[in-house]
Structure 1
């Protein structure tokens, strides 16, 4: 038997459609950040100070994170009981429609306080959707591909999520190049949201071609589906896996939000980079992050998730210190290269999902991943942008200290993961794919 089985044509098709859908859905969720300053001007009273207007805008962004557990737990519950595919499609519908609505939403000058309230409602629905989407994608793809290719598949899928951020950055860059600042502020910003909603609905159509996972079908045939609430089993029997999954998600949050999403505002407002150059730098960093995700997933298949995380977290901390201390000191080309290297190191998060897939057995896998990922993201992800905004009041490079602390935490967590799930033969480890039918 081949020790490293190749992905079949059907596996590649499933992975491609899942990654594309995830990319478009993540685009819908993060495009909000690229226009946070404009949204703060248009959807809040003009009398607010810039700091409080931006904090309110980030607060509404955070609301999307706070409602992720609701969507994640409910969708995962039914995903473990009635099938992965149905919930996989529902999540993208709940993301696309609110994005389209935000693109045509009246501003504060037109409808007063109803504007931020409607904006908040749309973000809540998006939070529910994204809470089901990402764990569904990780579970769906992992149960299709050979076990020895789970790392690569999840690395590619996570790179697809980064592609969603890249699409947002490229859309913002193209709008910045085509329209004047006044035109963008007046109406052109809406193009990014309307396009995202349309792309998302197209992705919903593409997902109709996906099939239910072999693992879930086998569990149905053998009547091995969870007999009680899956999340109840997760909390009763897999506490260690939940804790590790939450800490890994915390690290993932920092690598996405701080390294990618918050960086344009820091470079423009803190160090005087122009908008076009900032988005060019960000786009290059995202491409490097995508490559890093694929590399991390591939290495995880060969050397184990723990070693990859420990090496990647160490590299991220070192590069972050050099990068942030170079801001305002080094030339643009040096900053550009360092930012790309920081993006590459942040791609370590490409192995986070494969580690969570391996910690939870199939009958409650969707719920286990969803609970760990979404609760952590709701608590930490929702607080990250406001926290970075506050840290920026004390130091221009306050985000650096946050990243370094996260890297240390990730290194320690990876060491625990290695002991619990990679060194010892645990029950969880032995039941990872026992439900998958043999070839």
Structure 2
């Protein structure tokens, strides 16, 4: 008997503690999303002049957000690769690999020379490291969610599955706190000179802590059952595409709206409000921090409601609310009134939480255990490309072309309506 077999049998005999697994999933996911979000904030504030100084400020911001989108192009590749091995080898090993991949790429960005030092190689290396970040986060979501959901009791799948979902606002909160501390204590010149590197380099400490936590987890019991019965698929992705392509497309469509709104909320608004409305960067970071706390709190509450009342009811209410919030967001922000801006962000955060929380359990329920990592990851990451992957770039391009936020509002309304229709269709298959 090998060491892996003995450790697997020992883990199987231990009582399952879903809260411990879910909490560990939350911590690790928050660290990964912190890494991902600090890139978006740096793209909004610093990457334009540092890596694309030969173009206008507006074009530099657009180029910085284009590199931001590169990470999303890599996410399905990461989801496919880690989904394959997550269904073949195990969820736990892919969680460790995804965190290590993300951490190394993030620290690498913090060490990058700028355009002034190495010329065109600076943006080339930035894009490369962003791509590697995308590979890591592409494999992260499926593993973290499945570890939490597959350890959970049947009537609390969505609640425990919401813990890795909370890692997204959790990572955003930490990222905002770090950037607030830097902008409060450094001049703009010092921040552009060296201060922007601190959030990326600090990731090294958090990644080590996250790896220690993840290495202590036991493998998912449902995956252990797949291995025990020898029911695994040799090519999980092929099986998913052949047998569950409708579920993949519907789950991708259901995710487009929340993801697009989320990345406008998390990345583009900081750039727009500071560069166009000329509002205080610290004010917007503070408001985003407050709204992220609300978003985090709503996720487990909405997920618990979906365990009690069904995914369909909760997700439909949230999706309708998300459509409405996109119509209000920019008109309220454009008033430049602090109170109205905060209210707009809070309304958006509430409905983001209502949708984002239960969607983890919904996606895992669409696929059988043998191919669940591949199927859930593929749907989620395709939706992330079509949603958040292009949203900041599209928003920047629309504003530069029209000098108005009306086209951005229409764009967000369209994608949230698409998701509303997909949620209506996909929840008919589970509830």
**Shorter-chain TM-score above 0.5:** yes
166-175 or 263-272, which deviates more: 263-272
Which residue in 1 is equivalent to 2:33? 26
Q: Does 1:413 align with 2:419?
A: no
* Structure 1 segments of 4+ aligned residues over 4 angstroms from their partners: none
Which residue in 1 is equivalent to 2:323? 317
Q: SS of 1:329's equivalent?
A: coil
Which residue in 1 is equivalent to 2:5? none
The answer on whether the counterparts of 1:251 and 1:349 sit within 8 Å (CA) in structure 2 is no
270-279 or 329-338, which deviates more: 329-338
The Cα shift of 1:155 comes to: 2.1
The Cα shift of 1:32 comes to: 0.8
| Residue deviations 1:263-307 (CA, integer Å, cap 9, x gap) | 211221232210111100010111111122222211211122222
Distance 1:22 1:195 in 2: 16
Give the alignment of 1:81-120 within 5 angstroms.
81-120=88-127
1:224 to 200, 224, 231: 231
Gaps of 5+ in 1: 1-7, 423-439
Q: Does 1:396 align with 2:405?
A: yes
The answer on whether the counterparts of 1:142 and 1:154 sit within 8 Å (CA) in structure 2 is yes
The Cα shift of 1:398 comes to: 3.6
Which residue in 2 is equivalent to 1:425? none
Distance 1:245 1:128 in 2: 20
Distance 2:143 2:262 in 1: 19
| Residue deviations 1:2-29 (CA, integer Å, cap 9, x gap) | xxxxxx8821111111100000001101
Which residue in 2 is equivalent to 1:343? 349
Flag the 1:330–1:194 CA change in 2: closer, same or farther, 3 A: closer
Which residue in 1 is equivalent to 2:7? none
Distance 1:220 1:204 in 2: 25
Distance 2:118 2:323 in 1: 46
Distance 2:428 2:132 in 1: 39
Distance 2:283 2:225 in 1: 51
Q: Does 1:39 align with 2:47?
A: yes
Distance 1:418 1:280 in 2: 36
The answer on whether the counterparts of 2:251 and 2:426 sit within 8 Å (CA) in structure 1 is no
The answer on whether the counterparts of 2:255 and 2:419 sit within 8 Å (CA) in structure 1 is no
Flag the 1:367–1:235 CA change in 2: closer, same or farther, 3 A: same
The answer on whether the counterparts of 1:258 and 1:399 sit within 8 Å (CA) in structure 2 is no
The Cα shift of 1:330 comes to: 6.5
Give the alignment of 1:258-337 within 5 angstroms.
258-329=264-335, 331-337=337-343
Which residue in 1 is equivalent to 2:11? none
Q: Does 1:378 align with 2:390?
A: no
The answer on whether the counterparts of 1:294 and 1:350 sit within 8 Å (CA) in structure 2 is yes
Which residue in 2 is equivalent to 1:5? none
Which residue in 2 is equivalent to 1:150? 157
The answer on whether the counterparts of 1:89 and 1:207 sit within 8 Å (CA) in structure 2 is yes
Distance 1:255 1:158 in 2: 16
Gaps of 5+ in 2: 1-14
357-366 or 239-248, which deviates more: 239-248
Distance 1:27 1:390 in 2: 26
408-417 or 316-325, which deviates more: 316-325
Distance 1:330 1:39 in 2: 25
The answer on whether the counterparts of 2:287 and 2:345 sit within 8 Å (CA) in structure 1 is yes
1:366 to 373, 377, 381: 373
The Cα shift of 1:397 comes to: 4.5
Which residue in 2 is equivalent to 1:195? 202
Which residue in 1 is equivalent to 2:219? 212
Flag the 1:104–1:283 CA change in 2: closer, same or farther, 3 A: same
TM-score relative to the length of structure 1 = 0.90
The structure in which a higher percent of residues are helix is 2
Flag the 1:12–1:420 CA change in 2: closer, same or farther, 3 A: closer
Flag the 1:43–1:77 CA change in 2: closer, same or farther, 3 A: same
Distance 1:238 1:317 in 2: 28
Which residue in 2 is equivalent to 1:53? 60
The Cα shift of 1:346 comes to: 1.3
The answer on whether the counterparts of 1:100 and 1:193 sit within 8 Å (CA) in structure 2 is yes
